[in-house]
Amino acid sequence: QVQVIESGGGLVQAGGSLRLSCTTSGLTFDDSAMGWFRQAPGKERERVSCSNWQGDSIYYEDSVKGRFTITRDNAKNTLYLQMNSLKPEDTAMYYCAAKASRLCSSFPLSDVPYWGQGTQVTVST
């Protein structure tokens, strides 16, 4: 059984930083593209970032480019999302996503078989 577990969310002031972490079990982590989605109240879940299996091919949604950094430590089965210069519009539930393939490709929702339970990020003004 695959488990995906996020941590690191919280409340932060605008301009601040947070680092999210995601660990997995029951999954060959270093054979899987991993990424992050987020969902704000009343909005659809949207992709944020994706890392291929080696961490050398990265995708970022335009709204987070230059502010967020995705990294992975395959030895620790852990994915990270460093979020800097946070804005109130970044407020959302953040979900870790594990693909069943090595590549991100376009990283649509429909390509993600494994999800974490989500961690809340709230950015205050």
What pLDDT tens digit does each residue of the chain (125 aa) get?
999 999 999 999 999 999 999 999 999 999 999 999 999 999 999 999 999 999 999 999 999 999 999 999 999 999 999 999 999 999 999 999 999 899 998 888 898 999 999 999 999 99
Torsion angle in degrees (nearest 10) through CA of 70, 92, 117, 101: -40
